[in-house]
């Protein structure tokens, strides 16, 4: 069965969350059930870009990952769009047979049995600034499907409403390590990102969390945005 793939790129470094700095290859799935107002990957979300997506068999996907890495095993990052729309079970099985490991980023709106085959599941529920609503029973189903797999939560923060959302999510899921990253409002790939405004937003987030005595979350920038701005394929 073929999958809709927007892009496969790397090796690069994982720029966000628990695996930040680790060499990885990205498999970016095409299509999403959400439309976050600030999505930085619209080319993998919006139907207007679907003609640039490729229908690929699992064998071809893993062949491309192996070509990009020269066959060296690493942790592959499956992102999107929402990769949970599709069945990545065969891709993961084939990759693991060749020594690769898999991490996946999803908003937690659709649960999949193949979550149990990952080394890491990153659940990224969407705060109010996104304009999306979280169905917590679907989120719970994702956690259930990933039982036995390391799972973390990563939340994008633009404002105080988002911080309240993150506090509630943290209280609801105390066992999940929580990563917070500042939201990037400058997502046009044709425009540069200001390094000063990135560090201003990071400083604000540190002051509003650790600075006010909330010591549970880990605060990280989007490292790839610091390095490459909004460039695609990095």
Ligand X SMILES: Nc1nc2[nH]cc(C(=O)O)c2c(=O)[nH]1
Ligand Y SMILES: C[S@@+](CC[C@H](N)C(=O)[O-])C[C@H]1O[C@@H](n2cnc3c(N)ncnc32)[C@H](O)[C@@H]1O
Interface residues with ligand X (CB under 6 A)?
Answer: 12-16, 26, 41, 79, 105, 224, 234
Is 129 a known ligand-binding residue?
no
Q: Choose from ligand X, ligand Y, ligand SF4, none: what does 183 bind? Cβ within 5-8 Å by kind.
A: ligand Y
Asked if 39 is part of the footprint of ligand Y (rule: CB under 6 A), the reply reads yes
Q: Which of 167, 161, 146 is nearest to 214 (CA)?
A: 167
Residue 69 and residue 80: Cα distance in Å, rounded? 20
Q: Which of 14, 77, 107, 184 binds ligand SF4 (CB under 6 A)?
A: 107
Q: Are strands 23-29 and 54-56 parallel, antiparallel or unpaired?
A: unpaired
Cα dihedral 103, 187, 228, 105 in deg (nearest 10): 0
- Per CB under 6 A, the segment of 36-44, 89-97, 160-168, 205-213 that binds ligand SF4 is 36-44
List, in order, residues 6 or more apart from 13 with CB less than 8 Å away.
Answer: 20, 21, 22, 23, 24, 223, 224
Q: Are 23 and 71 in contact (CB under 8 A)?
A: no
Please say which residue, 42 or 214, places its beta carbon nearer to ligand X: 42
Shortest Å, Cβ 73 to ligand Y: 23
Asked if 230 is part of the footprint of ligand SF4 (rule: CB under 6 A), the reply reads no
User: φ and ψ at 31, to 5 degrees?
Assistant: 110, 140
Please say which residue, 81 or 182, places its beta carbon nearer to ligand SF4: 81
Name the E strands within 31-170.
54-56, 75-79, 101-106, 120-123, 150-157
Q: Which of 10, 80, 221, 229 binds ligand Y (CB under 6 A)?
A: 80
Q: Choose from ligand SF4, ligand Y, ligand X, none: what does 12 bind? Cβ within 5-8 Å by kind.
A: ligand X
Asked if 41 is part of the footprint of ligand SF4 (rule: CB under 6 A), the reply reads yes
Please say which residue, 81 or 95, places its beta carbon nearer to ligand SF4: 81
Shortest Å, Cβ 79 to ligand X: 3
Sign (positive or negative) of CA dihedral 191, 233, 83, 107: negative
Residue length of the chain: 234
What DSSP designation does 86 have?
Answer: S
Among residue numbers 203 through 232, which ones bind ligand Y (CB under 6 A)? 222
Please say which residue, 24 or 181, places its beta carbon nearer to ligand Y: 181
């Amino acid at each position: 069965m073929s999958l809709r793939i927007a892009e496969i790129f790397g090796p690069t470094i994982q720029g966000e969350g628990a695996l930040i700095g680790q060499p990885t290859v990205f498999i970016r799935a095409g299509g999403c059930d959400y439309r976050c107002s600030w999505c930085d990957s619209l080319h993998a979300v919006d139907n207007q870009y679907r003609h640039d997506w490729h229908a690929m068999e699992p064998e071809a996907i893993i062949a491309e990952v192996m070509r990009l890495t020269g066959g060296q095993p690493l942790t592959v990052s499956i992102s999107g769009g929402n990769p949970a729309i599709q069945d990545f079970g065969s891709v993961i099985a084939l990759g693991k047979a060749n020594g690769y490991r898999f991490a996946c980023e999803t908003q937690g709106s659709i649960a999949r049995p193949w979550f149990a085959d990952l080394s890491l599941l990153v659940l990224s529920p969407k705060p109010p600034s996104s304009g999306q609503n979280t169905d917590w029973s679907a989120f719970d189903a994702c956690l259930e499907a990933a039982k036995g797999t390391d799972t973390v939560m990563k939340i994008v923060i633009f404002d105080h409403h988002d911080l309240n959302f993150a506090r509630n999510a943290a209280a609801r899921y105390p066992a999940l390590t929580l990563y917070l990253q500042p939201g990037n409002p400058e997502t046009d790939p044709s425009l540069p990102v200001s390094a000063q405004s990135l560090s201003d937003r990071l400083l604000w987030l540190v002051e509003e969390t650790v600075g006010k005595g909330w010591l549970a979350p880990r605060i990280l920038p989007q490292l790839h945005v610091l390095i490459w701005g909004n460039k695609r394929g990095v």
